């Protein structure tokens, strides 16, 4: 591992285009691969997680061209995937693993999924349970804590009514993807709203969904059409500059074309509740996704409480929000953060250790901080 020394800057000023949204990038590749025809994806994140998704679909017979400015996915339709000749490696990507489980459960062949040591430690039962209720055959084959293969014997699926016990966009998406192949209606019911990128992109691809009162209904027998996709900037990446611009003296940063999907803007709500000066500029929609430029200026921050329904809307931004909390007046309290313990690492413990290394006292009590 390379050591890097980071020196403080007196101020932060400039204009930034943050990388493409990772959640949307995964779904853009997946749904384009299952579409009839060629889709051109622009702004796609080129990080390792999304590259793992691309590699999996290439192994399933989908031609994907990664070019300088765009990615072309030559979709094979719902019935066009081919049996892979090797284990599909999801790398460190939980999204790849869990959403692929939904797709592969309905294929007329056997497939196997694995990942790196970190991913192989992460639970899959939350996804496997509803898929098994749909008729999927999924085995979690472990050689050790960090060595695992998920074996899937594809078979016909049936639609179900599934009530999510906790908010999870990945579980919801896996069930909806499986529902594309199922006989009968698939209904997913959410107690607390989670990210809805899958629903938005399914509609963009021509799938009819009925979404109301926390219930998503998907009727069978629908095909996906090829559609070009413009991926907005990732608000999770933008969050670091929003916090830096807030706590840095005399700072002003303009972030261009950031995705501001309401299921993801909890970080903006909390920062503004803490006193941050964040301006929304040129709000518009791209492919059904809300997008805006964001301008942040220095402002004194004060403590707040983060809990309840806000947690799913900012779960990935809690680490950087803790930096804002460390720079704010007063003690910030975070409740209901259990999901941070089952990421690629125990993020809650990692946050506390990082704050302690910087001289801040972050205290953990159960799943609260």
Q: Could you give the number of structural domains in the chain?
A: 2
141, 274: one domain: no
Looking at the domain assignment, is residue 155 inside a domain? yes
Report whether pLDDT(361) > 70: no
Looking at the domain assignment, is residue 216 inside a domain? yes
201, 245: one domain: no
Phi, psi at 146, each rounded to 5°: -105, 5
183, 315: one domain: no
Looking at the domain assignment, is residue 10 inside a domain? no
pLDDT one-digit tens code per residue, 253-287 = 999 999 999 999 999 999 999 999 999 999 999 99
Report whether pLDDT(143) > 90: no
217, 236: one domain: no
Looking at the domain assignment, is residue 369 inside a domain? no
180, 236: one domain: no
220 vs 100: which has the higher pLDDT: 100
Can you give the pLDDT at residue 157?
Answer: 98
Can you give the pLDDT at residue 345?
Answer: 64
Looking at the domain assignment, is residue 7 inside a domain? no
Phi, psi at 144, each rounded to 5°: -160, 180
Can you give the pLDDT at residue 367?
Answer: 73
Beta strands 289-297 and 229-230 are: unpaired
pLDDT one-digit tens code per residue, 147-195 = 999 999 999 999 999 999 988 999 999 999 999 999 999 999 998 889 9
81, 215: one domain: yes
Measured CA to CA, the distance from residue 154 to residue 140 in angstroms comes to 15
205, 294: one domain: no
* Structural domain ending residue among the three candidates 189, 223, 257: 223
Can you give the pLDDT at residue 149?
Answer: 96
Where in the sequence is the domain holding 73, given as residue range(s)? 22-223
Looking at the domain assignment, is residue 94 inside a domain? yes
177 closest CA partner among 153, 151, 205: 205
Task: CATH number of the domain at 140, please.
Answer: 3.65.10.10
Element (H, E) at 291: strand 289-297
Measured CA to CA, the distance from residue 343 to residue 341 in angstroms comes to 6
113, 213: one domain: yes
Give the model's confidence band at 369: pLDDT under 50 very low, under 70 low, under 90 confident, else very high: confident
Looking at the domain assignment, is residue 1 inside a domain? no
258, 322: one domain: yes
Task: Kindly report the pTM of this predicted structure.
Answer: 0.92
**For 239, how many CA atoms within 13 A lie in the half-sphere containing its CB?**
26
143, 268: one domain: no
pLDDT one-digit tens code per residue, 82-101 = 999 999 999 999 999 999 99
Give the model's confidence band at 39: pLDDT under 50 very low, under 70 low, under 90 confident, else very high: very high
Looking at the domain assignment, is residue 184 inside a domain? yes
pLDDT one-digit tens code per residue, 108-135 = 999 999 999 999 998 899 999 999 999 9
Catalytic residue among 3, 316, 336, 360: 316
Give the model's confidence band at 365: pLDDT under 50 very low, under 70 low, under 90 confident, else very high: confident
210 neighbors 217 (Cβ within 8 angstroms): yes
* Structural domain ending residue among the three candidates 171, 200, 223: 223
269 is known as an active-site residue: no
E-strand ranges in the chain read: 13-17, 35-42, 63-66, 70-76, 88-89, 110-114, 137-144, 147-153, 161-163, 186-189, 209-212, 215-218, 224-225, 229-230, 252-259, 277-286, 289-297, 305-306, 333-334
pLDDT one-digit tens code per residue, 11-25 = 999 999 999 999 999
* Structural domain ending residue among the three candidates 167, 188, 223: 223
35, 148: one domain: yes
Q: Whose structure tokens read 């025809």?
A: 37
Structure tokens at 232: 């907005």
219, 251: one domain: no
């Amino acid at each position: 591992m390379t050591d890097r020394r980071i020196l403080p800057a007196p101020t932060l000023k400039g204009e930034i285009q943050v990388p493409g949204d990772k959640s949307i990038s995964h779904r853009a590749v997946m749904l384009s691969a299952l579409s009839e025809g060629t889709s051109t994806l622009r702004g796609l994140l080129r990080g390792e997680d999304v590259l793992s998704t691309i590699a999996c679909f290439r192994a399933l017979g989908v031609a994907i061209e990664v070019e300088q400015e765009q990615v072309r996915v030559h979709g094979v339709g719902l019935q066009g995937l081919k049996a892979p000749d090797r284990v599909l490696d999801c790398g460190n990507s939980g999204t790849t693993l869990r959403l692929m489980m939904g797709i592969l459960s309905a294929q007329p062949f056997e497939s196997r999924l694995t990942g790196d040591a970190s991913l192989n430690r992460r639970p899959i039962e939350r996804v496997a349970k509803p898929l098994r209720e749909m008729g999927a055959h999924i085995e979690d084959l472990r050689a050790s804590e960090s060595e695992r293969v998920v074996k899937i014997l594809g078979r016909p699926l049936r639609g179900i009514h599934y009530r999510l016990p906790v908010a999870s966009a990945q579980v919801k998406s896996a069930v909806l993807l499986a529902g594309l192949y199922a006989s009968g209606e698939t209904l997913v019911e959410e107690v607390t709203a989670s990210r809805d990128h899958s629903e938005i992109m399914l509609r963009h691809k021509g799938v009819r969904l009925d979404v109301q009162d926390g219930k998503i209904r998907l009727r069978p027998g629908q095909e996906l059409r090829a559609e070009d996709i413009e991926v907005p900037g990732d608000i999770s990446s933008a969050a670091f500059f929003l916090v830096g611009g807030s706590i840095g003296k005399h700072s002003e940063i303009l972030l261009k074309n950031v995705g501001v999907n309401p299921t993801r803007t909890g970080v903006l709500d909390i920062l503004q509740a803490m006193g941050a000066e964040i301006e929304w500029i040129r709000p518009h929609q791209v492919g059904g996704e809300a997008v805006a430029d964001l301008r942040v200026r220095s402002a004194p921050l004060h403590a707040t409480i983060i809990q309840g329904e806000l947690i799913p809307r900012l779960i990935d931004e809690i680490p950087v929000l803790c930096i804002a909390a460390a720079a704010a007046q007063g003690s910030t309290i975070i409740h209901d953060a259990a999901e941070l313990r089952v990421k690629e690492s125990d993020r809650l413990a990692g946050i506390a250790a990082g704050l302690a290394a910087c001289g801040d006292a972050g205290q953990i009590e159960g799943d609260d901080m």
